[in-house]
Structure 1
Amino acid sequence: MSYTHLTRHERDVISYLKSAVSLREIGRRLGRSHTSISRELKRNGPTCPDQVYGADAAHDRAQLRQSLPRHYRRQDHAPLLRYVERRLHIDWPPGAISERLKLKYPDDPKMRISPETIYRWVALDSHQGGELFRHLRRRHKHRRRQKRYGAGRRFIPGRVGIEQRPAIVNERIRFGDWEGDLVVGSRNSGAIATHVERKSRYLKASLLENRKAETFNTAAITVYQQLPQALRQTLTLDNGKEFSRFNELESSTTLKVYFADPYAAWQRGTNENTNGLLRFYFPKGTDFSQVEEAELTRAVKRLNHRPRKCLGYRTPYEVIRHALGGALAN
């Protein structure tokens, strides 16, 4: 049976019968478990022993509790709060904190928290002048409003969604499947177009003076035409207007372009993670109009020669170069 909250009428019945019959009998008459009645009295009953249960006051308490966000309720458990704060202070990511709690306290349901709740706590701490956000990888002071699927963004005409992308792309068993995006500079100072090969995590990047579709295409076509045909299979993009002229890109490169679902960054997780690594060299607020091509080339080379755990601590360059028999220059 699915759970439903007690109604105002049911609380009236509890108030009327409490002093006359047992909790089991009240539950039988309401079609509820006697434990539900007991829990109601403990949660929403009077705080002083000499007071009686009143339906009006109990219903008001229940409504207030329902309106309170869940992440506030978790903060009532001091051991959980201490554990989370201590791990944040040593720079553990929320996802790792959430999973480690399950390992450390396998039989304690009170020691559970989702990564999203931890992010909400950090945002609340920031609003109150705290510094916990500085221990997060991206150091956002405020939590971004979480948008519903597809809200507020129109589809690019003629786009082919990721649901039609060949299943082999998800398996990462071949080379030539790419993910693309932009890393945006401050105050419309330009952007960096990033292209990451899914199997090897190999990165190609270009400086753009603006975010126009024709500017992106010009740079992207140059990047992909320099690659062997074996490395040009698919490209997965988001739904930004800078990718609206994807048909030209397809015809010039032989790539098949697919689009991720709106606000589903995890569908391009390889690209998103690589953009985060690139931000180490070009933090948010960077004026890209002042960045030299040589600086970007140096940063990209360092990332392509950086060992990755997901590659068995080989580098993206080693993986893709071995596959192509030394066809890439750097």
Structure 2
Amino acid sequence: MVVLRVAKRYVPDEEREEFFELVCSGMSVTAAAAAAGVSRNAGISWWRSSGLVSPVIQFGRSGGLPGSAAPAVPGARGPDDLDRRRRPLSSWDRSVIAVGLRCKASYAQIAALVGRDKSVVWREVVRNRGPDGSYSPSIAHRAAHERRRRPKTFKLHANPGLCRRIEGWMDEGWSPGLIAALLRREHPGTSAAARMSRVSHETIYQALYVQTRGSLRQDLARKLSTARRSRKPRSDLERRANSPYREAFKISQRPAEVTDRAVPGHWEGDLILGSANGSAVGTLVERSTRFVILLHLPGRHDAASVAEAMIREMGKLPAHLHRSLTWDRGVEMAGYRNIQLALDMPVYFCDPHSPWQRGSNENTNRLLRFWLEKGTDLSQHTAGDLARIAATLNKRPRPTLDYKTPAQALAELLSNPTAA
């Protein structure tokens, strides 16, 4: 027996959008399917699988048919089984919105059908309403797709006339905030033309300070009240009057010999934190040999405790291995002056949020997590436990050392101080 299989015809999205557009305009499902060039059964299947309700629905107080607890169309979504996860609106969701607007439903009733908050529906309608006040789901869906395209064209690049106006105002001493406020008053509304004719103060600042977005004259930065050539973030610790690091050495001041790792004695350090940050272990890594020292912090890991443990452990090393220490700007290093005086070793601090500037230490901390697991209480490890962990890691061959171990590399330095 020969069985013939008929392949399903591929239906492009344009035909589906045309079908939903016609139904939302008041046409019956059968007529809309014929106009879109598909069968009646296909149209009914699309409508039911999308979860949409009948376009002649009369919304009651509960958001559905008066006196009915279930959606009018079998398979349609009800308020109790909606997927309310954050997701973009689909073409079907926008068709539901169009049906609801046509039936004079409230935003809350429409939102219950699409499973979103009423504010989402309100923003969707306001953003994509036509000049005559109508809402077309297919046009709205295409417009949303275009807005999601990346990378987006910087607004000032596409509007040189607006750039010239901003430059003229800034030459007269106007601030970006004042310029943005004036443009909002001149071009109110949510239309595309109005949005393209105004910019925010942040857009102006980015055009002045971000190289890749430079569409204004760079000398305009001197017209600002601060006259800064570069922007300083508000979160910069050095701008805080009570910052313990305002007089500390920056990583940019570190000697060049630290970068090439040719001279031993330069260290990187950090804390490995335990569960709920209630316990910690200090880590020190020598950049040239990758030799590891672990600091036992059984009780607290505040500035005084870290400084005491570091002075105790590093004091066991020869003086020529106390060349520098690089740390991040955590509060545990607020006592860095005591460390510098006790070990005669300068302490340099990384830029904020720049862990890659301590690459050796970050890599070593990743290896140490084999023993010091995340989410565990690190205070359970005794000083002897940490010494055994450090010794185990220091006996591990390293490709960067031509498969020598850190212990071997450090032993060679200690046996030949002149090489150091």
After TM superposition, the score normalised by the length of structure 1 is: 0.55
Partner of 2:314: 224
Task: For residue 313 of structure 1, give the secondary structure of its aligned residue in structure 2.
Answer: coil
| 1:62 Cα deviation after fit | 1.7
Q: Does 1:210 find its partner at 2:300? A: yes
User: Which protein has greater RCO, CA pairs closer than 8 Å, 6+ apart?
Assistant: 1
Which residue of structure 2 lines up, in the alignment, with residue 314 of structure 1?
A: 404
Which runs of structure 2 are paired with 1:295-314 in the superposition (5 Å)?
Answer: 295-314=385-404
* TM-score normalised by structure 2 residue count: 0.43
The question of whether the paired residues in 2 share the 8 Å contact of 1:150 and 1:261 is answered with no
Q: 2:268 aligns with which of 157, 168, 179?
A: 179
Give the distance between the partners of 1:66 and 1:165, measured in 2 at CA: 40
Q: SS in structure 2 opposite 1:284?
A: coil
Structure 1, unpaired ranges of 5+: 1-53, 69-148
- Give secondary structure in 1 for the equivalent of 2:237: coil
Decide whether the 8 Å contact of 1:185 with 1:191 is kept in 2: yes
**Out of 336, 340, 346, which is 1:256 matched to?**
346
- 1:65: how far off? 2.7
Which residues of 2 match residues 257-296 of structure 1 at below 5 A? 257-296=347-386
Aligned twin of 2:278:
189
Deviations 1:62-85 (A, max 9, x none): 2133499xxxxxxxxxxxxxxxxx
Structure 1 residues 111-155: Cα deviation after superposition (integer angstroms, max 9, x where no partner): xxxxxxxxxxxxxxxxxxxxxxxxxxxxxxxxxxxxxx9774624
Q: Distance in 1 between matches of 2:144 and 2:367?
A: 50
Q: CA deviation at 1:308?
A: 0.4
Partner of 2:290: 201
Verify the 8 A CA contact 1:200 1:319 in the aligned structure 2: yes
Residue number in structure 2 paired with 1:139 = none
DSSP-derived class of the 1:65 partner: coil
Pick one of 120, 133, 146 that aligns with 1:62: 146
Aligned-pair distance for 1:172?
0.3
Between the two proteins, the alignment pairs up a number of residues equal to 194
* Cα shift readout 1:183-231 (whole Å, capped 9, x = no counterpart): 1111343211111000000001111122210000000011121110110
The letter for the 1-side match of 2:275 is S
Q: What is the one-letter code of the residue matched to 2:318?
A: P
* Distance apart, 1:245 and its partner CA: 1.2
Contact 1:250 1:257 in 2 (8 A): yes
Change (3 A) 1:62 1:189: closer
SS at the partner of 2:249?
coil
Q: 1:158, CA displacement in angstroms? A: 1.4
Consecutive unaligned residues of structure 2, counting only runs of 5 or more, are: 1-137, 153-231, 239-244
Give percent identity, aligned residues only.
37
Q: Deviations over 1:28-65 (max 9, x none)?
A: xxxxxxxxxxxxxxxxxxxxxxxxxx998865532133
